[in-house]
Amino acid sequence: MSKRGLPQNVQMRHDSHYVEEISRSNRSIGKTVDVKKIAPNPEQPRSEFGDLTDLTNSIKEKGVLEPLLVKPNGDGTFMIIAGERRWRASQAAGLTEVPCIEMDLDEQGIAEIALIENLQRKDLTVWEESDGLAALSERYGYTHDEIAKQISKSRSTVTELMTIAGLPESVRQKCLKYKLDSKSILLSIARQFDEETMLSFTDELVSGRRSKKPAQTKPPKTLGDKVKNTSAEMDDFTFTAKDFKLSIEFTSNKNAGRDAILKALKEVFESVKNNKTSL
């Protein structure tokens, strides 16, 4: 394998001016680039890169099979859009150049690609994955459906991870402290009524007073258990019991999920409790 990062039987067309259309809106140039002229994206959402031994050995044997995505800085240097692990492993493997796809994207495009590429990795922690999904939703307005398609996961999985991302900071820090990183456990915590209850529930898990096995969901048996619109995302919520009917209509946050419903219910509860609501 050459020091240029390409497998022995593969070469870029003219190396620096191989033009390939990889999207309808961006012309992208495939080229080999000096590793010293490439730098990481300072806004890289991934802070831990894991053990690069296997990737380094693979690159030594076979070369870089998937080019890095880079953005030209205009001075002969490049910023990594996607592929920082490959760049790091290539240097560890002794390469002097690596194959790159040059893309001219704006700041949002770079951030979206970096996030999506990271979210497609299999070695992310549940926190990295959930925070990455939340960033796509909050910064760029992606719906749960759109995120699911981008990273090839089910919408229910996306919604669950977004629920974890929404944990209050105090609860998150306690979970990190006690290394509670199972998705099922974190979901159980997130589904408690409010922050105080979440903290108490977490303490019970840590002390062993509560089982870490998720409770089994039972089918509705009474009228009071029936809930209209039980999809992962919803724009309204209706609960019908024997003696009352409760409805919530979201006016500013369409496609609200479980967290939004719990927050709305908590606001109503606090308002009635503190005599702030006319009855």
| Residues designated as active site | 84
* Alpha carbon separation from 264 to 42, 197, 199 (Å, rounded): 37, 16, 20
Residue 148: how many CB atoms within 10 A of its CB?
18
How far lies 103's CA from each of 15, 72, 87, 145, 174, in Å? 16, 8, 17, 26, 41
Closest by CA position to 115, among listed 96, 128, 98: 128
Q: How many CA atoms lie within 13 A of 254 on its CB side?
A: 3
Cα–Cα dist 92/163, whole Å:
38
Whole-number Å distance between alpha carbons of 132 and 118: 8
Q: Report the chain's C-alpha Rg in angstroms.
A: 24
